[in-house]
Amino acid sequence: MALPSSARLTIDLNALAHNYAVLRAEADGAEAAPVLKGDGYGLGAAEVGRRLWAEGARRFFVARLSEGEALRAALGPGRPATIHVLDGMPAGTGARMAASGLTAVLTTLPQVEVAASFAAQSGQDLTVGIHVDTGMNRQGLTAADAQALAQSPDRLRGLEVELVMSHLGSATEPGAARNLAQLEAFRPLRALFPQAKASLAASAGVFLGPDYRFDIVRPGVSLYGGGPFERPHPDLKPVAIFEAPILDIRTIAPGETVGYGGGLVMQRPTRVAMVAAGYADGLIRAGKSGGAGWFAGALRRFLIINMDLIAMEIGDAPAAPGQMVELMGPNALIDDLAEASGTVAHECLVRLSERAERVYLGGV
Ligand SMILES: *Cc1c(COP(=O)(O)O)cnc(C)c1O
């Protein structure tokens, strides 16, 4: 059999289905509505969405209108999911939203106006969600705006508010006082729209306990294997397995410098594998310090991450060109990679580029 000659990104949709089941069990009766923004966290919203539909998901969240359109097309008429667009309904987008059957999550009073006048023009009631800001200060109606809106039903004429949601700013720190403050702020705001379903929790919020779950939870990163609290979670499986072949093995003499610049001078003879992956594949260059790949039964530290090449110290492990190194997967955990890269698992996933060969397991 020919040795693989290029990097490979395996997207394990069976692991995705497993994680979805874990999240559903944790959500304990709340509807688990997957978040597929950023092209399904870089893993392919079409493939991810179709598999999750097969697992019972009937409601999805995306950020952009264009993401909603693409997901609707990928699901096709046989999978009539509710697709919520978190950007809401900026002026002029009503017709496109309607053409793809997307449900806006309105984020400002001007958007409420846009939606109401679109409903009036089209002569049909429009189902919408409303995003209220409970203290993240990023997106959503202020409490005062939400109260004003609820007190003037005229502004909601033609709109059926089916969802009221907010987003937690510190859920990855379960002990943060901000979580409870946002929960307390959310309760009276959701009560302004008593007929609507309520949603507060993303991945981390699902694990904050029953008070945070309401009717719908919106997991993203944990579906794809990232731990809810930015640390590996034992029940979640990696969905993205990124491997690349060794191109060459070299021994660098003491006093020699590896790679660009003068900073990396070897103190002792150092055996290094040159791995055919780099930041053009979406790995993060900053991850060289503290980052590691899995090879021959151990984690091996990165010395450099260039555009196309990683230098990885391999000690005296037996190694040959063509052997694969796991850069992300069941042993090189995404939460560790994220920490080494100074970022979150979300970013490690969405940066994965199209250069590596992509293989889907468990597609439908
Ligand atoms: C991204 C996002 C989510 C999902 O967050 P994760 O941390 O990936 O689970 C949920 N809700 C909103 C509003 C988001 O922007």
State how beta strands 292-295 and 298-305 pair. antiparallel
CATH 2.40.37.10 spans which residues of the chain? 240-361
pLDDT of residue 208: 98
SS (H, E, C) 285-309: HHHHCCCEEEECCEEEEEEEECCCC
Is 288 among the catalytic positions? no
For ligand 1, say whether the CB of 84 is within 6 Å of any of its atoms.
no
Cα 110 to ligand 1 centroid, rounded to whole Å: 24
| Distances, alpha carbon 257 to alpha carbons 184, 266, 268, 309, 329, in Å | 57, 6, 11, 16, 30
Ligand 1 pocket check for 131: Cβ under 6 Å: no
Measured between alpha carbons, how far is 247 from 146 in angstroms, rounded to an integer?
59
CA dist., res. 146 & res. 137, Å (int): 14
CATH ID of 13-224, from 3.20.20.10, 3.40.190.10, 3.90.1150.10, 3.30.70.270: 3.20.20.10
Provide block-wise average pLDDT over 10 residues at a time, the chain (364 residues).
77 98 98 98 98 98 98 98 98 98 98 98 97 98 97 95 98 98 98 98 98 98 98 98 98 96 94 98 92 98 97 98 98 97 98 97 97
> Is the Cβ atom of 288 under 6 angstroms away from ligand 1?
no
Least Cα distance to 84 among 64, 66, 101, 105 occurs for 105
The token pair that represents 34 in the structure block: 């997957």
Q: What are phi and psi of 61, to 5 degrees?
A: -120, 135
pLDDT value, residue 3: 54
Query: CATH 3.20.20.10 occupies which residues in the chain?
Result: 13-224
Q: Clarify whether 37 is annotated catalytic.
A: yes
200 sits in the region (left: phi over 0; alpha: psi -120 to 50; else beta) called: alpha
Which CA distances in Å does 8 have to 243, 244, 327? 5, 6, 10
Supply φ then ψ for residue 49, to 5 degrees: -65, -40
CB atoms within 10 A of CB 77: 7
Q: Which two tokens stand for residue 228?
A: 């809810």
- Rounded Cα distance between 207 and 211, Å, is 10
If you measure from the C-alpha of residue 138 to the centroid of ligand 1, how many angstroms do you get, rounded to a whole number? 13
Looking at residue 289, its pLDDT comes to 85
Phi-psi region of 29 (alpha: psi -120 to 50; beta: other; left: phi over 0): left
Which pLDDT belongs to residue 2? Answer: 52
From first CA to last CA, the distance across the chain in angstroms is 28
Three-state SS letters, 169-218: CCCCCCCCHHHHHHHHHHHHHHHCCCCCEEECCCHHHHCCCHHHCCCEEC
**CATH class for domain 240-361?**
mainly beta
Residue nearest to atom 10 of ligand 1 (CA): 202
Does 221 contact ligand 1 (Cβ within 6 A)?
A: yes
Instruction: Report if pTM > 0.75.
Output: yes
246: CB partners within 8 A, 6+ apart: 273, 274, 275, 276, 295, 319, 320, 321, 322, 323, 324, 325
Token look-up 């007190």 returns: 151
Is the CB of residue 352 less than 8 Å from the CB of residue 42?
A: yes
Query: Best of 22, 31, 36, 61 to mutate for ligand 1, by most ligand atoms within 8 A of CB?
Result: 61
